[in-house]
Amino acid sequence: VLTQSPGTLSLSPGERATLSCRASQSVTSTFLAWYQHKPGQAPRLLIYSASNRAPGIPDRFSGSGSGTDFTLTISRLEPEDFAMYYCQHYGGSPEYRRYTFGHGTKLEIK
């Protein structure tokens, strides 16, 4: 189980956002991703392997963490960054796959 906090984060453009994802048991950081999702749009991969930015993702987005605690940081919020954010663990075994998403954090304009 992945628990994201806070459920809602109200900030202003230009501020720093820190989003948390906590796993109920230790996960390999190699298999932790973050997505951005806006209403009516396709989700967008931001970070994979906990800290690697996906191609085309601005460097204001960064990921960190290991074990059970992971963080997505947006250094300086732009208007287009207000959206839902999900963490995901991809793992399990070849026979029993697990692609588990967190409950999400809504990043809204204050």
Partner 1 sequence: EVRLVQSGAEVRRPGESLKISCETSGYSFTGHWIGWVRQMPGKDLEWMGIVYPDDSDTRYSPSFQGQVTVSADKSISAAYLQWSSLKASDTAIYYCARGGGEEGKKQWLVPFDFWGQGTLVTVSS
Binding site for partner 1 (CB under 8 A): 30-31, 33, 35, 37, 40-45, 48, 54, 86, 88, 90-91, 94-104
Q: Phi, psi (5° rounding) for residue 105?
A: -120, 130
Cis peptide bond upstream of 55, omega within 30: no
- Cβ distance to partner 1 smaller for residue 63 or 74: 63
- Cβ distance to partner 1 smaller for residue 11 or 54: 54
Q: Phi, psi (5° rounding) for residue 80?
A: -75, -5
Residue 43 Cβ, how far from partner 1 at the closest point, in Å? 5
Residue 97 Cβ, how far from partner 1 at the closest point, in Å? 5
- Cβ distance to partner 1 smaller for residue 12 or 41: 41
Give just the sign of the alpha carbon dihedral 105, 73, 87, 102: negative
Residue 24 Cβ, how far from partner 1 at the closest point, in Å? 15
Beta bridge partners of residue 26, listed in sequence order = none
CA dihedral 9, 14, 20, 21 (to 10 degrees): 100
Residue 91 Cβ, how far from partner 1 at the closest point, in Å? 7
The CA R_g of the chain, rounded to the nearest whole Å, is 13
- Cβ distance to partner 1 smaller for residue 98 or 110: 98
